[in-house]
Amino acid sequence: MEMYSTACKEALTAQQKAMELQRWKAEEQRRIEEARIAEEAALALAEKEKAKSRAALEHAEAAQRLAELESQKRINAEMKALKEAEERNKVLNKYSNSDFRYRRYSIEEIETATEYFAQSNKIGEGGYGPVYKCYMDHTHVAVKVLRPDATHGRQQFQQEVEVLSCIRHPNMVLLLGACPEYGCLIYEFMSNGSLEDRLFQIGNTPPLSWQHRFRIAAEIGAGLLFLHQSKPEPIVHRDLKPANILLDRNLVSKISDVGLARLVPPSVADTVTQYRMTSTAGTFCYIDPEYQQTGMLGIKSDVYSLGIIFLQILTAKPPMGLTHHVERAIEKGTFNDMLDPAVPDWPRDEALSLAKLSLRCSELRRKDRPDLSKVVMPELERLRTLGEETPCQTGFYSSGHSTIQSQASVSQASQHE
> Hey, where are the domains in the chain?
103-188, 195-401
Which of 79-93, 196-210, 213-227, 374-388 is predicted least confidently?
79-93
| pLDDT at residue 232 in the model | 77
Q: What percent of the chain has pLDDT over 70?
A: 84
Residue pair 165/101 in contact (Cβ under 8 Å)? The answer is yes
CA distance 83 to 297: 53
Residue 224, phi then psi, degrees to nearest 5:
-70, -40
R_g of the chain computed on alpha carbons: 48
Q: Quick one: pLDDT band at residue 188, thresholds 50, 70, 90?
A: very high
| pLDDT at residue 125 in the model | 78
Residues 6+ apart with CB under 8 A from 367: 271, 272
CA distance 210 to 199: 11
Residue pair 107/184 in contact (Cβ under 8 Å)? The answer is yes
Q: Assign domain 195-401 to its CATH superfamily.
A: Transferase(Phosphotransferase) domain 1 (1.10.510.10)
Q: Which residue has the higher pLDDT, 44 or 124?
A: 44
Residue pair 350/386 in contact (Cβ under 8 Å)? The answer is yes
C-beta neighbour count of 38 within 10 angstroms: 10
Residue pair 226/169 in contact (Cβ under 8 Å)? The answer is yes
CA distance 37 to 60: 34
Question: How far is the CA of 130 from the CAs of 110, 126, 159, 414, in angstroms?
Answer: 14, 6, 18, 10
Among residues 305, 308, 261, 311, the alpha carbon closest in space to that of 281 is found at: 261
| pLDDT at residue 263 in the model | 59
Q: Quick one: pLDDT band at residue 201, thresholds 50, 70, 90?
A: very high
Q: Which residue has the higher pLDDT, 279 or 146?
A: 146
Fill in the amino acid letter for 72.
Q
- Mean pLDDT calculated for residue range 300-313: 96
CA distance 414 to 416: 6
| pLDDT tops 90 at residue 95 | no
Q: Quick one: pLDDT band at residue 399, thresholds 50, 70, 90?
A: very low
For the chain, give the longest Cα–Cα distance. Answer: 189
| pLDDT at residue 332 in the model | 96
- What is the 3-state secondary structure of 324-349? HHHHHHHHHCCHHHHCCCCCCCCCHH
Annotated catalytic residue 239: yes
Encode pLDDT of 111-156 as tens digits.
Answer: 999 999 999 999 887 667 889 999 998 899 999 998 776 656 677 7
Angle between helices 348-361 and 210-228 (to 10 degrees): 30
Name the pairing type of β-strands 245-247 and 139-145.
unpaired
| pLDDT at residue 168 in the model | 87
Please say whether the structural domain 103-188 has been given the CATH code 3.30.200.20: yes
What value does the mean pLDDT of the chain take? 85
Residues 6+ apart with CB under 8 A from 373: 225, 228, 229
- What is the 3-state secondary structure of the chain? CHHHHHHHHHHHHHHHHHHHHHHHHHHHHHHHHHHHHHHHHHHHHHHHHHHHHHHHHHHHHHHHHHHHHHHHHHHHHHHHHHHHHHHHHHHHHHHHCCCCCCEECCHHHHHHHCCCCCHHHEEEECCCCEEEEEEECCEEEEEEECCCCCCCHHHHHHHHHHHHCCCCCCCECCEEEEEHHHCEEEEECCCCCEHHHHHCCCCCCCCECHHHHHHHHHHHHHHHHHHHCCCCCCEECCCCCHHHEEECCCCCEEECCCCCCEECCHHHHCCCCCEECCCCCCCCCCCCHHHHHHCEECCHHHHHHHHHHHHHHHHCCCCCCHHHHHHHHHHHCCHHHHCCCCCCCCCHHHHHHHHHHHHHHCCCCHHHCCCHHHHHHHHHHHHHHHHHHCCCCCCECCCCCHHHHHHHHHCCCCCCC
> Choosing from 197, 239, 257, 302, which is the catalytic residue?
239
